[in-house]
Structure 1
Amino acid sequence: MLKTFSTLMVAGVLSVSSAQASLLYKISGKDMAEPSYLFGTIHMICADEFNVHAQTEKAFNEADRLIMELDMADPAVMQSMQTKLLDPEGRKLSSRLTEAQYALLDKFLTDTMGMGLTTFDGMRPFILSSMVMTSQMGCEQQMSYEGHFTQQALQQEKTVDGLESVDFQFGIFDQIPYQEQVQWLIESLEEEADATAELDKMIRLYVAEDMEGLYRMIAETDAYAEYTALLLDDRNRNWQQRLDADLQAPGTEFIAVGAGHLGGNAGMIKLLRDLGYTVEAVSTKVQN
């Protein structure tokens, strides 16, 4: 069975409760002076399908501060990411591949990047999985909600904060066995039709804001079940305490994290409600 690792990454590891029917939520109560907002992103989407609804734009414009998984407005964050592309233990992908697998990955990199596997041999497998996923999206230009909100925050002179560090996020993937990551990478190329179909289905569900469909799709994948605590639950609980302090501070927050962090029994919606906040879906279908 194809493990949809790159699909999980682009979706922010989507796993949403069937009870949720929106990507935008208003947070109030617990003696907050003004409401804040929680928005579920998809980390990459084709430019022609990228859309910030009027209600989301309004909520963002009302906010004093943008909070994301990483502080993408900090140049040091991007610089740190660039320094971590290589496997920290110096492992080479070529040493884990059969001759046929090597040829397959080498051809993909040559066709898409203009350079073969020898150039990328020392990279972390999940970085190359991201490259494969981007290629399989089938569009020349992709957009990032995190990038969009960061740009808007800088233009509006909003404060930008991150919930995690680059070291922490890369450390998450270091806890997934190297060989398993290599296998996911190769399967995405060997079973390209299936990988492309799964990615397209996930994007269709996100665009339609079909939370129930997204939940069913991801809940059935082996990779999600095995690593849900590592990729989602433990991080959400860390964020719960951090965001409690942020929400009690003066001002309005716009919190934009991968949609997979919103739903489920350990999702941000439930965890914030457990703290005493009122978290209500805002229909992004309403246009001004």
Structure 2
Amino acid sequence: MRSKFSGLAMATSLALGLSVSSANAALLYKITGKDMAEPSYLYGTIHLICEADFNVAEATQKAFDEADKLIMELDMDDPNMMQSMQAKIFQPEGLKISSGLSEAQAEKLDAFFKANMGVGLSAFDGMRPFVVSGMLMSAQLDCGQPASFEGYFTQQAMMQQKPVEGLETVDFQFGVFEQIPHAEQVQWLADALEDEAGAKAELQRMIDLYQAEDIDGMYGMFIEMDEYAEYKEVLLDQRNFAWQESLDKELQAEGSEFIAVGAGHLGGKAGMINLLRERGYTVEPVSN
């Protein structure tokens, strides 16, 4: 049985094969054209990676330093963002994760939480399933607190006094997952625990593709999973199209932008790279 864990990991990209010789074998892209006064840059991040695997290449740092503004999925510099997230992590309807689990599945999830977080399922039972999945994925990494590209770039922006903007709001991101039935998200969690070794292998495969800078491979890893095919448009495509409207205005304005979004949003026909090219921009990979 194919593990659904990695698909959920990439869906929680709130974060996804093809060979590394693909056309989009890079994480950093230079954007020019359409009478832009100076180039901007597009960078693909991964939302879960161990500190030992975390790396910002020299070319990426240089591109960031040259930019006048940082744009990410969320405005991580907003002091109210975390408060907004905390206010929304629980199901508003009072739904419980345990209500969609068998007794054996609930016991397994309870044991997992106790072993990895020191408290049982009852502490998380009322949370939204995709929030809990993020906790599970962090524990699956087996490296303590994961590193964060978004956190790093936000810190760098603050040090360099660059403005930070978000392409989406917290309310919008949570609304994306509200379009996926609660029961189905709970089932994804249950499936992940049924094959923990497979889940870790899929997560490692995603990290390996990312370290190989294989954007097409990460995208392909997501869409090859039949259980997520019906949600691809909601999780990726619709968001990409909406982002393009905002980015087109930013790219045509004065100044240079460093745009950092989940790497799964870059590949594919409806990916950021192709959509920018369709709008007349030149998007070129930058070797790291």
Q: TM-score range by the shorter chain?
A: over 0.9
SS in 1 for 2:80: helix
- Partner of residue 277, structure 2: 273
Distance in 2 (alpha carbons) for counterparts of 1:112 and 1:149: 29
What corresponds to 2:8 in structure 1? 6
Change (3 A) 1:94 1:165: same
> 2:213 is matched with which residue: 209, 214, 219?
209
**Partners of 1:239 and 1:35 in 2: how far apart?**
18
Give the deviation of 1:16 after TM superposition. Answer: 8.6
Question: Structure 1 stretch 7-16 or stretch 217-226: which is displaced more?
Answer: 7-16
Structure 1: tracts of 5 or more residues without a match: none
Check whether the contact 2:9–2:133 (CA below 8 A) recurs between aligned residues. no
Pairing partner for 1:184 from 178, 184, 188: 188
Q: Aligned equivalents of 1:151 and 1:15: distance in 2? A: 33
Aligned residues of 2:16 and 2:221 also touching (Cα < 8 A): no
Evaluate the alpha carbon distance shift between residue 147 and residue 223 of structure 1 in structure 2; reply closer, same or farther with a 3 A threshold: farther
Corresponding residue of 2:200: 196
Match of 1:139 in 2: 143
Q: For 1:162 and 1:79, how far apart are their aligned partners in 2?
A: 16
Q: Match of 2:38, SS?
A: coil
Q: Unaligned 5+ residue runs, structure 2?
A: none
Report the CA distance between 1:212 and its aligned residue. 4.3
Q: Is 1:148 matched up with 2:152? A: yes
Q: 2:35 aligns with which of 31, 35, 40?
A: 31
Is 1:84 aligned with 2:70? Answer: no
The TM-score, its normalising length taken from structure 2, stands at: 0.94
Distance 1:201 1:10 in 2: 16
Alignment match of 1:223 (pick from 216, 219, 227)? 227
1:16-71 Cα deviation digits (max 9, x unpaired): 99421100000011111110000000012100000000000000000110000000
User: In the TM superposition, what whole-angstrom CA distance separates every residue of 1:245-273 from its partner, at most 9, and x where no partner exists?
Assistant: 00011100000000111111111111111
The amino acid of 1:2's aligned partner reads: S
- Deviation of 1:9 after TM superposition, in Å, equals 3.6
Task: Give secondary structure in 1 for the equivalent of 2:230.
Answer: helix
* Identity rate, percent: 62
Tell me the residue number matched to 1:157. Answer: 161
Distance 1:71 1:45 in 2: 21
**TM-score computed with the length of structure 1 as normaliser:** 0.94
Partner Cα separation in structure 2 for residue 72 and residue 13 of structure 1: 16
Alignment partner for residue 95 of structure 1, among 73, 81, 99?
99
Aligned equivalents of 2:14, 2:225: Cα separation in 1: 15
How many pairs are equivalent? 284
